């Protein structure tokens, strides 16, 4: 979770392409069949025989080359000798990666890419995930990451991404066996080759909390809308609230309309499952700042009457990625002892087609009081998030507001599949977010914040603004976030941070 910046108020938007609770016995049965891996972190290397517990060792080649065999021997002896280990390391030629067997198929060592440019993470986190996905045994195993202390968090997050929780594949054989356990251990290097940098128990607890949040977000995004509809997402929110000892606030259906949330209600009113605004609040003693994270939760996006085609619509279950990431981050932050007031705001709806669907040319009044002429029903996320950020400002009194969404495909064009786009009114916030992205492996790239040049794209003759740009070639990725910021007001003196991921761009 990002650090609070002094006493400044912040608005920001993050766009990206990113505990496990089951609600019925049928769910439990299906998930048992999936045999999903359990992740267990250790702060010390556990002596094991690879014959009994397969091991995969991953690191940068320079770290592996300098690593004394004594530091890795608890995972390899008596099956692998120092000579065998040394020859295997000398044979590695990562371009981008390389794997060498140390003993049959139960002990292997892998080297990460040699190159890491200034816009990448030094941890090579994306390569770690890919290496594990292609080399996991599918049974209980040990993964040992050799890295510097600064890359500990990004490496742990990369491991978590390799083991998604959601799976509906069935098995013909009864699976009374417990799911496999993946033991994750670290050898931290730095300074002289013989220097030992300890991973503390506190480190392990923090890493576990973050990876639980990552896998939770991934499971929600992977689940289809016939399971993860608005009601299903609300059940996830309630489960997290119960687990953290917090209470949730939910505004749903016609109450949204009555209370002025015209964006959320207008987007979701055509669906059988009503839209909702849900809020989780954590308010520790001694807090001096109030932070609000606002997530877009479109559980499925048909595009509305501006309907997507048959090739564009599959995968739109992922359009709740912003809200899913906020829920996972909120869990991790609270469990890790976040010291400021923290609110998670979830804007939830299914953008469906039906008799009540919003039409192009309709005009909605949002929670800000501004009117919006709809010229594209497939630009729906910004309508919901505008309600969410104004609620965070007006009702929650947040002085730091960050919203996260799969907002626009323009993100993928602007910053690609590996870097989320960040739009913010704060130089300091932008710099900190970029640094945090490199530390965690969740890479970001800034896009222009220049409302005086770009917001005219939303000009309307009959309302305060339209919801989609006139010129799709004029900083479209920035415009999507500026629409949301406009409902706070560009004179807003807090810090606005909007982070975006396109639906087919960077993913969890």
Question: E strands, 339-457, where?
Answer: 341-351, 363-365, 371-373, 400-405, 420-424, 444-446
Asked if residue 8 has pLDDT above 70, the reply is: no
Q: What's the pLDDT score for residue 499? A: 56
What's the rounded Cα separation, in Å, for the pair 48 and 299? 44
What's the rounded Cα separation, in Å, for the pair 58 and 320? 33
Among 89-103, 167-181, 236-250, the range scoring the smallest mean pLDDT is 167-181
Asked if residue 19 has pLDDT above 70, the reply is: no
What's the rounded Cα separation, in Å, for the pair 48 and 52? 7
Mean of pLDDT values over 262-286:
98
**Helices (runs of H) and strands (runs of E) counted in the chain:** 16, 18
What's the rounded Cα separation, in Å, for the pair 89 and 102? 10
Mean of pLDDT values over 150-160:
97
Q: What's the pLDDT score for residue 394? A: 97
Q: What's the pLDDT score for residue 198? A: 84
Supply φ then ψ for residue 211, to 5 degrees: -70, -30
Q: Indicate which residues carry an active-site annotation.
A: 308, 382
Q: What's the pLDDT score for residue 492? A: 67
Asked if residue 417 has pLDDT above 50, the reply is: yes
Task: Report the 10 Å Cβ neighbour count for 332.
Answer: 22
Task: Report the 10 Å Cβ neighbour count for 362.
Answer: 15
Q: Which residues share a beta bridge with 116? A: none
Band (473; pLDDT cuts 50, 70, 90)? confident
Band (485; pLDDT cuts 50, 70, 90)? very high
What's the rounded Cα separation, in Å, for the pair 440 and 153? 6
Among 29-43, 47-61, 323-337, the range scoring the smallest mean pLDDT is 29-43
Q: What's the pLDDT score for residue 30? A: 37
Mean of pLDDT values over 17-43:
55
Band (498; pLDDT cuts 50, 70, 90)? low
Mean of pLDDT values over 307-322:
97
Asked if residue 230 has pLDDT above 50, the reply is: yes
Q: What's the pLDDT score for residue 34? A: 38
Asked if residue 21 has pLDDT above 80, the reply is: no
Band (257; pLDDT cuts 50, 70, 90)? very high
Place of tokens 């997402």: 233
What's the rounded Cα separation, in Å, for the pair 423 and 483? 12
Place of tokens 């990562």: 94
Asked if residue 365 has pLDDT above 70, the reply is: yes
For residue 324, give every residue at least 6 positions away whose Cβ sits within 8 Å of its Cβ, in sequence order, or none.
Answer: 18, 216, 217, 218, 220, 221, 295, 297, 508
Q: What's the pLDDT score for residue 190? A: 81
Mean of pLDDT values over 441-470:
96
Residue 260 tokens, joined: 């002025």
Please give the mean pLDDT across all residues of the chain: 90
Asked if 101 and 107 count as a contact pair (C-beta separation under 8 A), the reply is: yes
Peptide bond into 96 cis (omega under 30): yes
Query: Cα–chain-centroid distance for residue 20?
Result: 16
pLDDT in tens, 200-213: 999 999 999 999 99
Q: Which residues share a beta bridge with 200? A: none
Asked if residue 11 has pLDDT above 60, the reply is: no
Q: What's the pLDDT score for residue 472? A: 86
Taking the domain 44-199, which CATH number applies? 3.40.50.10590
Mean of pLDDT values over 357-361:
98
Q: 10-17+215-500 and 44-199 share one CATH topology?
A: no
Q: How many residues does the chain have?
A: 508
Domain ranges of the chain: 10-17+215-500, 44-199
- Letter string b/e over residues 441-470, b meaning 16 or more CB atoms within 10 A of that residue's CB: bbbbbbbebebeebbebbeeeebbbbbbbe
Asked if residue 105 has pLDDT above 70, the reply is: yes
Among 16-30, 144-158, 420-434, the range scoring the smallest mean pLDDT is 16-30
Asked if 142 and 75 count as a contact pair (C-beta separation under 8 A), the reply is: yes
| Helix, coil or strand: residue 499 | strand
What's the rounded Cα separation, in Å, for the pair 186 and 45? 7
Asked if residue 144 has pLDDT above 90, the reply is: yes
Q: What's the pLDDT score for residue 192? A: 64
Among 229-238, 250-259, 345-354, 410-419, the range scoring the smallest mean pLDDT is 410-419
Asked if 346 and 295 count as a contact pair (C-beta separation under 8 A), the reply is: yes
**To the nearest whole percent, how much of the chain has pLDDT over 70?**
88
| Helix, coil or strand: residue 379 | coil
Global pTM value? 0.90
Supply φ then ψ for residue 27, to 5 degrees: -60, -45
Run of H or E including 27 = helix 25-34
Q: Which residues share a beta bridge with 141? A: 182
Place of tokens 């761009």: 505
What's the rounded Cα separation, in Å, for the pair 291 and 320? 21
Mean of pLDDT values over 85-97:
93
Between CA 150 and CA 157, with CA 151 as vertex, the angle to 5 degrees is 130
Mean of pLDDT values over 318-343:
98
CATH class of 10-17+215-500: alpha beta
């Amino acid at each position: 979770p990002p650090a609070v910046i002094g006493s400044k108020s912040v608005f920001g938007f993050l766009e990206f392409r990113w505990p496990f609770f089951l609600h019925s016995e049928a769910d439990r049965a299906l998930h048992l069949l999936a045999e999903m891996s359990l992740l267990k972190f250790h702060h010390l290397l556990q002596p094991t025989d690879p014959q009994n517990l397969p091991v995969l060792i991953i690191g940068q080649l320079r770290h592996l080359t300098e690593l004394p065999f004594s530091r890795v021997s608890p995972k390899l002896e008596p099956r692998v000798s120092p000579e065998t280990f040394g020859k295997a390391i000398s044979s590695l030629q990562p371009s981008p990666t390389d794997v060498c067997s140390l003993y049959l198929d139960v002990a292997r060592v892998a080297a990460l890419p040699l190159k890491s440019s200034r816009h990448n993470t030094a941890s090579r986190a994306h390569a770690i995930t890919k290496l594990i996905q292609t080399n996991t045994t599918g049974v209980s195993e040990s993964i040992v990451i050799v890295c510097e202390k600064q890359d500990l968090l990004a490496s742990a997050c990369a491991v978590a991404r390799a083991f998604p929780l959601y799976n509906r594949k069935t098995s013909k054989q009864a699976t009374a066996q417990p799911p496999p356990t993946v033991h994750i251990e670290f050898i931290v290097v730095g300074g002289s080759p013989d220097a030992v940098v300890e991973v503390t128990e506190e480190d392990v607890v923090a890493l576990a909390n973050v990876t639980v949040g990552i896998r939770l977000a991934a499971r929600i995004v992977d689940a289809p809308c016939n399971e993860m509809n608005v009601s299903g997402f609300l059940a996830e929110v309630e489960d997290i609230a119960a687990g953290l000892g917090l209470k949730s606030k939910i505004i749903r259906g016609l109450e949204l309309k009555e209370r002025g949330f015209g964006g959320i209600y207008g987007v979701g009113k055509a669906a059988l499952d009503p839209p909702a605004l849900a809020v989780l609040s954590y308010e520790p003693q001694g807090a001096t700042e109030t932070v609000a994270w606002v997530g877009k939760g479109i559980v499925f996006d048909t595009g509305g009457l501006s309907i997507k085609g048959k090739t564009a619509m599959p995968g739109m279950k992922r359009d709740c990625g912003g809200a899913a990431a906020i829920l996972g981050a909120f869990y991790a932050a609270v469990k890790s002892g976040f010291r400021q007031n923290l609110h998670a705001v979830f804007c939830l709806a299914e953008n469906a087609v039906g008799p009540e669907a919003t039409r192009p040319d309709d005009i909605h009044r949002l929670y800000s009081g501004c009117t919006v002429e709809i010229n594209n029903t497939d630009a729906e996320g910004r309508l919901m998030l505008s309600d969410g950020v104004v609620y965070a400002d007006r009702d929650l009194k947040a002085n730091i507001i960050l919203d996260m969404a799969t907002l626009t495909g323009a993100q993928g064009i602007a910053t690609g599949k590996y870097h989320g786009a960040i739009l913010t009114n704060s130089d300091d916030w932008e710099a900190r977010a970029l640094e945090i992205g490199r530390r965690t492996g969740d890479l970001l790239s800034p896009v222009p914040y220049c409302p005086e040049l770009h917001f005219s794209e939303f000009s309307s003759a009959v309302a305060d603004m339209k919801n989609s740009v006139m010129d799709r070639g004029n900083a479209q990725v920035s415009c999507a976030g500026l629409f949301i910021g406009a409902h706070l007001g560009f004179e807003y003196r807090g810090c606005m941070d909007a982070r975006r991921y396109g639906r087919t761009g960077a993913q969890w």
